[in-house]
Chain A
Amino acid sequence: MSQPIITVNHLKKHFGTNAVLNDIDFEVEKGEVISIIGSSGSGKSTLLRCINLLEKPTAGVIRFHGQDIQAPGFSLSGYRSKVGMVFQTFNLFNNLTVLENCVVGQTTVSGIDRVKAEAKAMELLDSVGMAQYIAAKPRQISGGQKQRVAIARALAMEPEVLLFDEPTSALDPEMVGEVLNVMRKLARSGLTMLIVTHEMNFARDVSSRVIFMDEGVIAEDSSPRAIFSNPQNDRTRAFLNRML
């Protein structure tokens, strides 16, 4: 059996006395598209943020290709460039144009020369339908457009895994579709994805696996079909009844 890309063991995260993640265990295999669902405050964002160490775990081990990402000497920068993140609030670099947003990581982190980096950025922006807007600043484009650029920015680093934290929840309804379409295309291309989402239809149709989180633990982890048509856990059932 091939080694998982990411392994999470006994992950715990406390904010003060608030235990947000309690003993999380799971693995991510190459090519999986995992949707993480669950009610607000169940710890979904915290889990994603722990995975790329924007949040420091209180306890537990996270491995990337078998290597402990918290070990001294582990290249966090290199790791983060291979595990990209797409944020709910886009977080495009406000001081840079659309094109520069997709170039700056390549040139500063990966040391790719400018010409190549721009070519790659153009190609990716084209694939998310944003090639026309390369000269625009983030404040000049719509939410849906921002999120597509943010996805292109993450892809420019050639990540092995992309983490999405509710990529469409800050969008007006009519813009949700354009972002989901891009994500659907990515899923089909074989990219490994971890998606925190409230879009149940998307979770059901696109993902290969669904994780239901409840009060800081993984309450159910199964195929979309199993979870949506025959949830084993009462809390999952109650949650889905509310959502669908």
Chain B
Amino acid sequence: MPSSFGEWVIFFAQKYGVFFLRGAGTTLVIALIGTVVGFLIGLAVAVVRTMPIEDNSPRGRRIFYRVVRWILVAYIDIFRGTPMIVQSMVIYYGSAELWGLDMSPMVAALFIVSINTGAYMAEIARGGIISVDKGQYEAALSIGMTHGQTMRKVILPQAVRNILPSIGNEFVVNIKDTSVLNVISVTELFFMSKSAAGTYMRYFEVFFITSVIYFVLTFSVTRILQSLEKKLDGPDSYSIHGSQTVPEAVIKGEA
């Protein structure tokens, strides 16, 4: 049996290495899918919530919009206003009890993280949309674009670019927060760690390893997203397109 902290760490790393990696993989998959789907949900909610309602549109449609918006606000408030650990319990056990739904923990996990992230993303995306300069919107309308075309071609690309840091932030939060899913027995990193630690009653050593893995995950994700952001911004400079004259020639001629 290992006797020191260091020996225990090495022991667990060797014996449970694959175990940890599988847990980390599950964590990453849930966080990634949850963030992407949550982003799409959030974007859709924000687009609907920022849709202009003309005063002269038919009464029925105005009421419909109002009801839809009310539902969306309720969704955002409820999912931001309750802890994900509680949502997991309610949704996982509730769906089984109310509708006899036999979701696997993994399916439940993906659902919960997506819908929870969606609620946060909805507000982030709405912030992104309304922070795009109003002149961009007016310019698009002024060349005849409809509201939908304006959103697709002009507003959303800028809004999404501006909220990329927040999306990355949500991703990192999700990597960490998937740990609460252990309450519904999702075999993510925290759950795996708990089982390993329980077997030998060595909590400190195991969770030391666990924390290192979490940190490596969040750290790499942060860096990858940062470089992705840079890439999306395109080159800092642009190339001059010579029409009749070769630019070099012009520059030499002037010198």
Q: Which chain A residues lie closer than 8 Å to B242 at the CB level? A: 132
Min CB distance B11 to A, Å, is: 54
How many chain A residues touch B (CB < 8 A): the figure is 39
B94 within 8 A of A: no
Residue pair B144, A91 in contact (C-beta under 8 Å): no
Q: A93-B136, A95-B154, A136-B238 are in contact. Are A108 and B142 (CB under 8 A)?
A: no
B252 within 8 A of A: no
A94 within 8 A of B: yes
Q: Which chain B residues lie closer than 8 Å to A47 at the CB level? A: none
Residue pair B243, A84 in contact (C-beta under 8 Å): no
Choice from A72, A78, A85, A97 contacting B142 with Cβ under 8 Å:
A85
0/1 string, B132-162, CB within 8 A of A gives 1: 0101101111111110010001100110010
Choice from A132, A140, A150 contacting B241 with Cβ under 8 Å:
A132
How many chain B residues touch A (CB < 8 A): the figure is 28
> Considering the chains assembled together, what is the distance between the CA atoms of A81 and B139 in angstroms?
11
Q: Which chain A residues lie closer than 8 Å to B237 at the CB level? A: 140
Choice from B141, B238, B239, B241 contacting A80 with Cβ under 8 Å:
B141
Residue pair A52, B142 in contact (C-beta under 8 Å): yes
A109 within 8 A of B: yes
Min CB distance B59 to A, Å, is: 14
Residue pair B144, A80 in contact (C-beta under 8 Å): yes
Residue pair A87, B135 in contact (C-beta under 8 Å): yes
Residue pair A95, B238 in contact (C-beta under 8 Å): no
Q: Which of A135-150 contact B (CB under 8 A)?
A: 135-137, 140, 150
Q: A89-B135, A108-B149 are in contact. Are A135 and B241 (CB under 8 A)?
A: yes
0/1 string, A102-117, CB within 8 A of B gives 1: 0011001110000000
Residue pair B139, A108 in contact (C-beta under 8 Å): no
A-B contact pairs, 28 of them (CB 8 A): A52-B141, A54-B141, A54-B142, A77-B144, A79-B144, A80-B142, A85-B139, A85-B142, A87-B139, A91-B133, A91-B139, A93-B154, A94-B136, A95-B154, A97-B238, A104-B153, A105-B144, A108-B145, A109-B145, A109-B149, A131-B243, A132-B242, A133-B240, A135-B239, A135-B241, A150-B139, A153-B143, A154-B143
Taking Cβ atoms with an 8 Å cutoff, the residues of B that contact A are 56, 133, 135-136, 138-146, 149, 153-154, 157-158, 161, 234, 237-243, 247
